[in-house]
Structure 1
Amino acid sequence: MSMQPIQVTPSAYTYPLLIKQLLHTPLATAPQQEIVYGDKVRHTYRALALRINRQGHALSRLGVQGGDTVAVMDWDSHRYLECFFGVPMLGAVLQTVNVRLSPDQILYTLNHAQASVLLVNREFLPVLAQIRGELATVKRFVLLDDEGGDLPEGFAGEYEALLADCPDHYDFPDFDENTRATTFYTTGTTGLPKGVYFSHRQLVLHTLAVCSALALAPQQGGFHRDDIYMPLTPMFHVHAWGMPYIATLAGVKQVYPGRYQPEAILKLIEKEQVTFSHCVPTILHMLLLTPYGKQVDLSRWKVIIGGSALTTGLAKAALERGIDVFTGYGMSETCPILTLAQMEDPALLADADANVAVRVKTGRPVPLVALRTVDAQMGDCPRDGKSAGEVVVRAPWLTQGYLYNPEASEHLWDGGWLHTQDIGHIDPQGYLQVTDRIKDVIKTGGEWVSSLELEDLIGRHPGVSEVAVIGVPDEKWGERPLALVVLKPEFADQVSAADIQAHVKVFADQGHISKYGVPENVRFLESLARTSVGKLNKRAMREQLVK
């Protein structure tokens, strides 16, 4: 078959899908809309555009060219938003540095990404001092400064001063939409961090698809032009789930909180009337427990929960405060959003149990996502809500590999589908439910026990604040589940291991979980080990607790 390409008029503009194109609509429809950084900065979208243009000049003067990598170490700020646009618009690559990694890991990621310019918040100068002598490719340093002070030795300048010295217009070029725009590093619990990367085309398509999925929500789980957006997932982690691009395209008011401090976040929600956020369960849990939060009206707040499972207990606690809480699913390699747990049937909103049951599902694919659960031979599992297999996906915005790591890249894309390493099942309505990570599923007594399901059930005990379940070796059964429980303060010393076991046994007797899922061992802890982005770190738990 002979394919017929379209005929392109010589004078026609082919409109490459570049990040700069996302600015057209907000500048046309909402140029006076606000962008807020904590209690420090308040300016408009028009000012955002001018500052992006000045940033283009400033970086060019520092020698940045197409293909160079510009790294950023900052808290969530208006500056970071400018870098989300300005750096890729030059044809350069934005590296968002995970500031919660160890200094050695930060050093590794900067050297591995071959960053040539580093923008660094004054708070991270002590970290920079530890690694500066071993940076192999960084040639220029720019200070990001909220407090004012002397310019450190060897720095090219302070960010605001550099921008103030530049013109308001920069002619950002057109180039191939498949040009790499961003790089960041996964926070896996084994081995060195792996670099993932995304093109302009991928980021634009992710923005359009997720924006449409949120806009198509009939009643629950939506996002629209009247919303006020504040990220509670760090901007260094998967582009803050891509939501700053979506919020900018929509022209909504944006609020950036800086460093995550519970009372400061709640005060911003209250003062700026924030209506839309996203975070890992730990952050929401922390905000609900913070004393100041008891007096803040959260009834207009919509929150996507990702990174770890949204438990029934946390969902109920959020709903009691009037929060429209629901699950989003993805991973670093997927840009990240693949699914959202939105409700199509408004009648479910009135049914308390059904309402919660949908919100804690992993969700249905957003537009353009092809998602399957497969067996070991890549055959499709039945979509019956029970038959579990590995979740594999295709979408236009999935990373095409790991940076400079072809072997891991081929493993990721084995068979032409991206392997998530998650186990789950899909029901007849198309809702995915992830039941475990491949490495975390527990095989005991010849049966598979889902650690996530067991965590959800234990989390329904009224005295449980947080819980993690890991598999531990057992001579008789192969493995047995170990429940690690953090109690609510008011239940300290009032809940025993026997109480937790009896609570789970009720669900086993009702057939909700195998009898092998009732944990013989329960340990009470003050806190649970987490990764740098707030996910439960079960590898660390095993190393610390399993002897």
Structure 2
Amino acid sequence: MIPTKLIPRTAEAHEPPLLIKNLLAQSLRYEPQREIVYRDLFRINYIQFNQRVRQLANVLAELDVKPGDTVAVLDWDSHRYLECFLGVTSVGAILHTVNVRLPPAQVQYTINHAKDKVILIHEDFLPILTAIKGELTTVEKYVVLSDKVYTGTARINTLDEIPNGFSGEYEALLSKASDQYEFPDFDENTWATTFYTTGTTGSPKGVYFSHRQLFMHTMGLLTYIIGYEAMPFKGSTDVYMPITPMFHVHAWGFPFLATMMSAKQVYPGRYEPELLLKLLITEGVTLSHCVPTILNMLVSNPAAQKFRQNLSRWKVLIGGSALTKGLAKAATELGITVMSGYGMSETAPILAVGYLNEQEKTLSPEEQIELRTRAGRIAPFVEMRLMDDNGQFVPHDGHSLGEIVARGPWLTQGYYEDSERGAELWKGGWLHTGDVASITPDNWVIIADRTKDVIKTGGEWVSSLDMEDVLSQVEGVAESAVIGLPDDRWGERPHALIILKPGYSLTAEGIKAYLQAKIERGELHKWYVPDRIIFVSDIPKTSVGKIDKKKIRSEMKELILGSSTTIS
């Protein structure tokens, strides 16, 4: 850094640190009467919410949680989880959002690696705890989270199903705690949250973020989502409901933003298509975010057609996997406004969000879909470049490809107790995403593929994401996944898994003919016809809903070698 002159400081002057508690405090300023809703079971306003967060702080003190201790949460998306987002962090402790979809052995690894002291766990996940409890090395106390206290099947203070060794049930403990608590000031670089991201090799990696980073991520969302209206979100009229698990990258940071704005929030608990649609309608939800699998599940539900007039106010940000044009079109036909975003666990996660400028808003719906399915425009305060294999920057001309590297005020600084992989992540002073893309002169990011998923065939690089996008536009195709497998002649060749929509009957030959016709019209590259097309009822997904291409590659190799007569 260049030499600079710092501003003079008066000894008595106060410089407020950028802390999560300040986001919470803002929620009482202007609209404290707005509600936070949990399924069809429970609702509170922001006055009550703030009281409950302070009660949680006192419960944590009773459980001997001190600044720097780690508190783990295993829960569905709920008001309780939101209280932990704000309460655990504001006492100076670290919130570990545990991925409940990992195998029990990996859940055990993450809890031990994070050195969790206290676990708050929903009763639905007690079987996981039963399987691993004897192997946990640092946990001292447990609290059970129960929905029964909201349904009338048990009173808060008389829940009879508290497991042995538990300190109590969440609501019962809150009901006995004082709602008076003064959250302290501390250094804004204090560790606030941690969670674990799984890759293709090795143990899960611990990602971590400070109060400053999460505060600045919230300001970035505020600037882009509200200021630039990339996905218009007004606290006075909009209602927020996450459909991304809260254990996954802080539910993309939106709970912090919605709380700061005291917007109405709806938490759906376990994802059930009928209940999600019911909450969308009855609670007036207008903004959500999810992976494409969830959106596809909802738009394919027969009830969606019934409520299409209510869906016209719903805005959905898609991330985690590429939004295909076929899915974007299906959602748009129901009146849903869709837009893509881009980021990763290590980036908290927002790096880009789709934004249509004044000129682009005049385009036809079909032309807009082309833009809405891109990864987005580079987010405020984020530096993003493209880098080739030699570490040289690639021009932002919309055509040249390179790995996305980034810098910004909310990117993780490394991996917990894993300096080697942390150094690899930040090689050369830029965070390396592993995604291959082009960037246009006007800052649109166009993802080509993950570096490990690009298919090299006949000396050409073919994007599996592009192929999936083309397949999504075949009438009758609900979902697809394309991977490359070794080929003696061409190096690699693409192979596709396809899920059909109900009532459709397609053949591999028919789909190949559709693609070949596009090639002959000059609309596609000649390599875009898969060698094999396999029709399946399900496509493997990771714990956060992304297509699991590592597993698909393994299974397709076995399938091809073991029973070639079953594939097309």
Q: TM-score range by the shorter chain?
A: over 0.9
1:174-196 superposed Cα distances (whole Å, 9 cap, x missing partner): 11100110000113233221110
Matches within 5 A, 1:310-329: 310-329=323-342
Say whether the 8 Å CA contact 1:68–1:115 is kept in structure 2. Answer: yes
Equivalent residues in 2 for 1:128-527, closer than 5 Å:
128-147=129-148, 148=154, 149-217=160-228, 221-225=231-235, 226-296=237-307, 297-345=310-358, 348-491=361-504, 494-527=505-538
Alpha-carbon shift at residue 292 of structure 1 (Å): 2.0
Supply the distance in 2 between the matched residues of 1:20 and 1:539 (Cα, whole angstroms): 41
Structure 1 residue aligned with 2:151: none
Q: Equivalent residue for 2:57?
A: 56
Q: Which residue of 2 aligns with 1:5?
A: 6
Distance 1:179 1:347, change over 3 A: closer
| Distance in structure 1 (CA, Å) of the matches to 2:49 and 2:262 | 12
Q: Deviations over 1:252-294 (max 9, x none)?
A: 1000000000000000000000000000000000001112222
Q: CA deviation at 1:516?
A: 1.8
SS of 1:356's equivalent in the other structure is helix
For residues 347 and 475 of structure 1, what CA distance do their matches in structure 2 show?
A: 45
In structure 1, the residue matched to 2:92 is: 91
More displaced stretch, 427-436 vs 373-382? 373-382
CA distance, structure 2, for counterparts of residue 385 and residue 353 of structure 1: 20
How far apart are the structure 2 equivalents of 1:357 and 1:348? 12
Aligned-residue CA RMSD (Å): 1.3
Which residue of the partner structure matches residue 125 of structure 2?
124
Alignment deviations for residues 158-216 of structure 1 (CA, whole Å, 9 cap, x no partner)? 11111111111112111110011000011323322111000000000000111110113
* CA distance in 2: counterparts of 1:439 and 1:404, whole angstroms: 25
- For the residues of structure 2 that align with 1:509 and 1:24, how far apart are their CA atoms? 61
Identity %: 52
One-letter identity of the residue aligned with 2:239:
I
List per-residue Cα deviations over 1:296-324 (Å, max 9, x = no partner): 22000000000000000000011101111
Which stretch shows the higher mean deviation, 344-353 or 33-42? 344-353
**Secondary structure of the structure 2 residue equivalent to 1:126:** helix
Determine helix, strand or coil for the equivalent of 2:179: coil
Give ranges in structure 2 of 5+ residues lacking alignment. 149-153, 155-159, 559-568
Distance 1:2 1:495 in 2: 67
Conserved 8 A contact 1:458-1:503? no
2:108 corresponds to 1:107:
yes
- 1:410-465 deviations in Å (ceiling 9; x for gaps): 00000000000000001122100001000000000010000000110111100111
Question: 1:381 deviation in Å?
Answer: 1.5
CA gap of 1:346–1:270, structure 2 versus 1, over 3 A, is farther
How many Å separate the matches in 2 of 1:525 and 1:223? 38
Deviation at 1:517? Answer: 2.4
What are the residue-to-residue correspondences of 1:74-89 with 2, within 5 Å?
74-89=75-90
Supply the AA of the counterpart residue of 1:294: Q
- Distance in 2 of aligned mates of 1:503 and 1:543: 28
Q: How many residues align?
A: 544
Give the Å deviation of 1:512.
4.0
Secondary structure of 1:95's counterpart equals strand
Letter of the structure 2 residue corresponding to residue 76 of structure 1: D
Q: Bigger CA drift: 397-406 or 291-300? A: 291-300
Cα deviation, residue 347, structure 1: 5.2
Deviations 1:500-531 (A, max 9, x none): 11222233334443212221211111110000
TM-score (norm 2): 0.94
Matched, 1:532 2:533: no
Paired amino acid for 1:454: M
- 1-structure distance, mates of 2:410, 2:555: 37
- Contact 2:26–2:260 (CA under 8 A) maintained in structure 1: yes
Instruction: Give the match's secondary structure for 2:323.
Output: coil
One-letter amino acid of the counterpart of residue 536, structure 2: L
Query: What is the Cα deviation at residue 399 of structure 1?
Result: 0.6
Q: Which residue of 2 aligns with 1:32?
A: 33
Q: Report the AA paired with residue 93 of structure 2.
A: A
Q: Secondary structure at the match of 1:27?
A: coil
Letter in 1 for 2:217: H
